[in-house]
Amino acid sequence: MTQSEALLIPPKPKAQAAPMKALVYHGPGRRSWEDKPRPVIREATDAVVRVTTATICGTDLHILKGDVPTVADGRILGHEGVGVVEETGSAVAGFERGDLVLISCITSCGKCDFCKKGMYSHCRSGGWNLGHTIDGTQAEYVRIPHAETSLYRLPRGADQEAFAMLSDIFPTGFECGVLNGQVKPGDTVAIVGAGPIGLATLLTAQFYSPAELVMVDLDANRLAVAGSLGATQLVEATGLKAVERVLELTAGAGVDVAVEAVGIPATFDVCQKIVAPGGRIANVGVHGKPVSLELERLWAHNVTLTTRLVDTVSTPMLMKLVQSGRLRPQKLVTHRFGLGDVMKAYDVFGNAAREQALKVVLKSQ
């Protein structure tokens, strides 16, 4: 072929990534449902998953308020969901195209020092990445790094809504609230905050047969739900009123475990004022402001204070309980939308009190 002939051959068009639809963050207060390229395998340890069930988390609302500056403009949101494996990288053993999988909100390599300790949340090449530092699950497809340790295979025909609650809220309530709070048979437990996380704490605390489960919130509807899910006392108050009421309910003794499931100084303060000597304060809430720790009073009370970013180490155990019907996380699902109606779903979830919303599920075929 002569040089002039070569010039006549048109260049091959660049392979265009197939488009998909996704919910994209565009800075504080701005989100849109738009076309994005379909994710592809980048590392041998990746999988691409077609999302069949996703949800919206309170943390997504925090991102949209601009509270999480590490989320870049253009990021696809979402860190919860269930889907079907579309493609796997060459190093992924144990998963293949067509497998139904639960996507963990925490990505973990399973090999680094933190992963070896079961602290997946601090994985050297993972942690909370999805819908944060990499594209997330509120899309038709999502790329999952470290697929072998970040995905869990589900039985065919599994209740996808129930399992989608195990991506984040149930491991969070159980690990950060119940395990860190060391809930024991006969304990009096107060959970401050009856949102999805507080309610997941309420359901999983019952594995250990506490004697009393006191739920504190300002939202009468959420408290009513808590009542139907096993709370023994409902306190519709905050601040000193809530403290007074909890102390009254415990004959002045206070509670063995106080779980903070809101993430503001006022509710942390309630916890430190209602904890009994020898008790535990298990902080779950994400705090953006400093709190005032009353160490001058608590130092002699033998109190334990714990904090934790969810590790999702309890996911396999929670999956067994869902599979057997002993745990029914689907009770927290109040609204269902098609994935294409995710903009509407955000409007409903963003007005949770008015809409009486707890978990909003997004479905795709």
List residues binding Zn ion (CB under 5 A): 57, 59, 109, 112, 115, 123, 168
Residue 223 one-letter amino acid: L
Residue 313 tokens read as 């180490």
Closer by beta carbon to ligand NAD, 89 or else 196: 196
Chain residue at closest Cβ approach to ligand NAD? 195
Q: Report the residue from 219, 244, 341, 355 that binds ligand NAD according to the rule CB under 6 A.
A: 219
> Does position 197 bind ligand NAD by CB under 6 A?
yes
Residue 104 one-letter amino acid: S
To 10 degrees, the CA torsion angle through 174, 178, 181, 182?
A: -120
Q: Which residues pair with 87 in a beta bridge?
A: 48
Helix residue spans in 215-259 (DSSP H)? 220-228, 239-249
CA atoms within 13 A on the CB side of 204: 31
Q: Which stretch binds ligand NAD (CB under 6 A): 32-40, 131-139, 218-226, 316-324?
A: 218-226
CA distance 173 to 270: 19
Q: Per residue, what are the HEC states of 131-198? A: CCCECCCCECEEEECCHHHHEEECCCCCCHHHHHCCCCHHHHHHHHHHHCCCCCCCCEEEEECCCHHH
By C-alpha distance, which of 229, 232, 235 is closest to 204?
229
CA distance 135 to 226: 33
Interface characters, 157-176, with ligand NAD (x: CB under 6 A): -----------x---x---x
For residue 209, the minimal CB distance to ligand NAD (Å) is 24
Q: Which of residues 71-130 bind ligand NAD (CB under 6 A)?
A: none
For residue 219, the minimal CB distance to ligand NAD (Å) is 4
Closer by beta carbon to ligand NAD, 39 or else 181: 181
For residue 177, the minimal CB distance to ligand NAD (Å) is 9
Q: Residue 279 — φ and ψ, nearest 5°?
A: -90, 180
For residue 172, the minimal CB distance to Zn ion (Å) is 7
> Does position 201 bind ligand NAD by CB under 6 A?
no
Q: Which of residues 9-68 bind ligand NAD (CB under 6 A)?
A: 58-59
> Does position 266 bind ligand NAD by CB under 6 A?
yes
CA distance 139 to 135: 9
| Residue 99 binding result from Zn ion, ligand NAD, none, given CB thresholds of 5 to 8 Å by partner type | none
Closer by beta carbon to ligand NAD, 95 or else 268: 268
Closer by beta carbon to Zn ion, 147 or else 214: 147
| Residue 115 binding result from Zn ion, ligand NAD, none, given CB thresholds of 5 to 8 Å by partner type | Zn ion
Label the pairing between strands 359-363 and 47-55. Answer: antiparallel
Q: Tell me the number of residues near ligand NAD by CB under 6 A.
A: 29
Closer by beta carbon to ligand NAD, 85 or else 183: 183
Label the pairing between strands 47-55 and 333-338. Answer: unpaired
Task: Report CA torsion sign: 156, 107, 331, 356.
Answer: negative
| Residue 112 binding result from ligand NAD, Zn ion, none, given CB thresholds of 5 to 8 Å by partner type | Zn ion
Q: Which stretch binds ligand NAD (CB under 6 A): 29-37, 110-118, 188-196, 205-213?
A: 188-196
> Does position 195 bind ligand NAD by CB under 6 A?
yes
For residue 122, the minimal CB distance to ligand NAD (Å) is 12
To 10 degrees, the CA torsion angle through 254, 256, 261, 264?
A: 50
CA distance 136 to 128: 11
> Does position 282 bind ligand NAD by CB under 6 A?
no
Q: Report the residue from 100, 123, 178, 284 that binds ligand NAD according to the rule CB under 6 A.
A: 284
> Does position 255 bind ligand NAD by CB under 6 A?
no
Residue 319 tokens read as 């999956």
> Does position 310 bind ligand NAD by CB under 6 A?
yes
Which residues are at the interface with ligand NAD (CB under 6 A)? 58-59, 168, 172, 176, 192-198, 216-219, 222, 238, 261-263, 266-267, 284-286, 308-310
